[in-house]
Structure 1
Amino acid sequence: MLTFTDKGIYCLQGDFYIDPWKPVKRAVITHAHSDHARWGSQFYLAHEYSAPILRLRLGQDIQLQTIPYNKPLYSNGVKVSFHPAGHIIGSSQIRVEYQGEVWVVSGDYKLEDDGISNAFEPVRCHTFITESTFGLPIYHWDKQEIVFDQMNRWWQKNKENGKQSVLIAYSLGKAQRLIQHLDTSIGKVFGHGAVYQIQQTFVEAGFPIKSIEKWGENFTKPEAKGALIIAPQSAINTPWLRRFEPYSLGMCSGWVAIRGTIRRRNADVGFVLSDHADWKGLLSAIQATEASKVFVTHGFTATFARYLNEIGVQAAEVQTEFGKEEEEQISTNTEKLEEGNLQK
């Protein structure tokens, strides 16, 4: 029912693409990260919570239709509905049904409820299209409460030592999660311009999340004393970042689970927190769909598809242009990571 083309995932009967990476007439969007939501299509369909960021990134004048979760639309007899993916605010799995056959395109997802995104809901289907960003057994996430406690203790210690705390985190998704859960009794939270813009867009759209201040040129060091500043990876080794000296630099990413990542990014500390499912989460999600066939679209595709086949789930890897949005993504030697890990 769905095919993989040079423009993206295509439904012939419904005549639409899901997360196309080239301009098309009708694009159905799982979420607002730019590797899944690209400029140039004529019409867009997305979840209503994605609308503010889609308009911010793609333009206020895009032709955008939005729908809530679990409310189907029909296109030439094809039933289309959106279901929570738990990845970021507005992220959705796309369920497509035609003549009794059901496919689900997951986009990106995580199973832990982050408190700001609608929690992941498994959707039963015949065929499931999954990511595998962290599709190796070495990737295992602690509960987020543990990680936030680690961050708060690091922040408090820095404050006591007269240092600012700078957290590197992706501006859409990760930053909102941090802002919502960090202990602001310790100090003030500021945002890099990119972080502030995304956060403020959600706040102005009426989402029940915390607001922050943008770090501006007219601010002084005393105002930053003991503060925590959230910035994207592009801020590392820039004059903007050096204005906070003395500071401690922390990285917030699933990739810091791999030894050496923190050192390569000149960070002082790493916090393992991701908006993607870990190895066990991926397997749990797939099992819950009861799908008889799985396509693996991005991440450790070959390794993850091979493992699924070994445990009796028919799976195949598919080359796509997803996964290129992640500013947190750290270059690693994939072959070394994959070697010998399937038995763990």
Structure 2
Amino acid sequence: MPKKPLLEFTDKGIYCAAGKFYIDPWKPVDDAVITHAHADHAYWGNKHYLAHHHSREVLLYRLGEIQLQTVEYGEKVMKNGVEISLFPAGHVIGSAQIRVEYRGEVWVVSGDYKVEDDGISTPFEPVRCNHFISECTFGMPVYQWKPQVEIFNDMNNWWRSNAEHNLATVVVGYSLGKAQRILQNLDLSIGTVYTHGVIENTNEALRRNGIILNPTSRITPDTPKEEVRKGIIIAPPSSVGTPWMRKFSPYSFGYCSGWMAIRGAKRRRAADRGFVLSDHADWDGLVSAIDATGCDSVYLTHGYTATFTRYLNGIGFDAHEVHTLYGDDEGVGSVPEEEPEVHAVSHPALSKGEGSKKDNKGTSKVLSFGEDLGEAGGHLS
């Protein structure tokens, strides 16, 4: 009889039968270990939650009064003889990879991650393991991120030009992760940073957790429109096209997302500018992160799973596609309709072997829950 895997994919989420807990379950369970506080990974209704300390206040803000235990990176927790520890994922503040060890077998669940140090999230740290469960949101060679300093130089110049022409500047990014990354890299000599209420609520939660963020000013009905025009507004995706945004006219509107790398994405969002800024790993980042684990097998959970699985198998990995309910937190939707062609790519330095794959067929789409369930409709101040 084959050995039962330490982690299993079930209709409730990733399950550890030996430890009797789930990782990022999408249905209510007794014991949940959470990689990060985005809505498609941290659901309401679990009896007990375990997460990184920096996720504490955001989880309480989003989920209400929950039974929550928080730990630091590297701290070990035992559940029914199974050892659990969290390691930096670099995705957003408080994001973690979950390392699970039992009787010498090690699994790591990546959650969402990026390998570039953004200066605000704890940088991604590869974790050696036997089996690695990885996202692959941007698992296509076309997705190659520029260093963020180039993106923010462009953004600051755009803001400066708008201010000189008496245009309000609105930059859109999801409220946990992208908004703070933008905030920490703006040139504050240009003007004041104004925030939508949902983003400011998230900022306040992070500040309660001891995170030091640049100063911001919440937009209220009493905020003078002319003063806002001199600064920059950070807004969530749900504000696009709403009366809340239109009241700042005339304005220039920029959208921050990895999907902006695809032709037509900016047009579909009616944005004046598209900034290719993602909190997920790009193609090279995914391949290098997976290789650094030294894993015997890798399981790919969301994004271009089918294509990326075939590619990894072609260069010597034992890769498997799995279907979960983890969605898209980049704010545009699921995998774009305009799918890029996969050109032959080789990574000769990989320890798993050399090779290449070419595939331009359909993607594996997953249900997208969006990033913030509280952003749709309702009060937008």
| TM-score, L = length of structure 2 | 0.87
**Corresponding residue for residue 63 of structure 2:** 58
Does structure 1 retain, via aligned residues, the 8 Å contact 2:259–2:336? Answer: no
Does structure 2 retain, via aligned residues, the 8 Å contact 1:85–1:121? Answer: yes
Does structure 2 retain, via aligned residues, the 8 Å contact 1:132–1:299? Answer: yes
Q: Equivalents in 2 of 1:62, 1:10: separation in Å?
A: 21
**Corresponding residue for residue 273 of structure 1:** 277
Provide closer, same or farther for how the CA distance between residues 73 and 89 of structure 1 changes in structure 2, counting only shifts above 3 A.
same
1:289 aligns with 2:293: yes
Per the TM alignment, residue 292 of structure 1 is displaced from its structure 2 partner at its CA by: 1.2
Does structure 2 retain, via aligned residues, the 8 Å contact 1:172–1:195? Answer: yes
1:161 aligns with 2:165: yes
**Corresponding residue for residue 92 of structure 2:** 88
**Corresponding residue for residue 337 of structure 1:** 340
Q: Provide structure 2 residue ranges, at least 5 long, that are not aligned to the other structure.
A: 1-5, 345-356, 360-381
Does structure 2 retain, via aligned residues, the 8 Å contact 1:192–1:232? Answer: yes
Per the TM alignment, residue 116 of structure 1 is displaced from its structure 2 partner at its CA by: 1.0
Per the TM alignment, residue 226 of structure 1 is displaced from its structure 2 partner at its CA by: 2.1
Secondary structure class of the residue paired with 1:74:
strand
Secondary structure class of the residue paired with 2:233:
strand
Q: 2:148 aligns with which of 144, 154, 160?
A: 144
Amino acid at match of 1:198: T
More off after superposition, 296-305 vs 201-210: 201-210
Secondary structure class of the residue paired with 2:323:
coil
Q: Once the two structures are superposed, what CA deviation does each residue of 1:50-76 show, in whole Å capped at 9, x if it has no partner?
A: 1001101111x2111111000111112
Secondary structure class of the residue paired with 2:101:
strand
Does structure 1 retain, via aligned residues, the 8 Å contact 2:54–2:209? Answer: no
Q: Equivalents in 2 of 1:140, 1:252: separation in Å?
A: 15
Per the TM alignment, residue 324 of structure 1 is displaced from its structure 2 partner at its CA by: 4.3
Provide closer, same or farther for how the CA distance between residues 331 and 314 of structure 1 changes in structure 2, counting only shifts above 3 A.
closer
Secondary structure class of the residue paired with 1:103:
strand
Q: Equivalents in 2 of 1:90, 1:205: separation in Å?
A: 10
Q: Equivalents in 1 of 2:200, 2:212: separation in Å?
A: 16
**Corresponding residue for residue 369 of structure 2:** none
Q: Once the two structures are superposed, what CA deviation does each residue of 1:233-252 show, in whole Å capped at 9, x if it has no partner?
A: 11111111111111101011
Q: Once the two structures are superposed, what CA deviation does each residue of 1:87-142 show, in whole Å capped at 9, x if it has no partner?
A: 00100000001111100000000001111111000000010000010000000100
Provide closer, same or farther for how the CA distance between residues 340 and 113 of structure 1 changes in structure 2, counting only shifts above 3 A.
closer
Q: Equivalents in 2 of 1:147, 1:78: separation in Å?
A: 43
Amino acid at match of 1:5: T
Q: Provide structure 1 residue ranges, at least 5 long, that are not aligned to the other structure.
A: none
1:313 aligns with 2:293: no
**Corresponding residue for residue 260 of structure 2:** 256
Per the TM alignment, residue 206 of structure 1 is displaced from its structure 2 partner at its CA by: 2.0
Q: 1:106 aligns with which of 104, 110, 130?
A: 110
List 4+ stretches of structure 1 deviating above 4 A.
338-344
1:7 aligns with 2:12: yes
Per the TM alignment, residue 331 of structure 1 is displaced from its structure 2 partner at its CA by: 5.5
Per the TM alignment, residue 274 of structure 1 is displaced from its structure 2 partner at its CA by: 0.4
1:31 aligns with 2:36: yes
1:128 aligns with 2:141: no
Counting aligned pairs with the same residue, the percent is 55
Amino acid at match of 1:52: E
Q: Equivalents in 2 of 1:57, 1:9: separation in Å?
A: 22
Amino acid at match of 2:195: G
Secondary structure class of the residue paired with 2:299:
strand
Within a 5 Å distance, the mapping from 1:206-217 to structure 2 comes to: 206-217=210-221
More off after superposition, 315-324 vs 104-113: 315-324
Secondary structure class of the residue paired with 1:65:
strand
Does structure 2 retain, via aligned residues, the 8 Å contact 1:200–1:211? Answer: no
Secondary structure class of the residue paired with 2:230:
coil
**Corresponding residue for residue 222 of structure 1:** 226
Per the TM alignment, residue 198 of structure 1 is displaced from its structure 2 partner at its CA by: 0.5
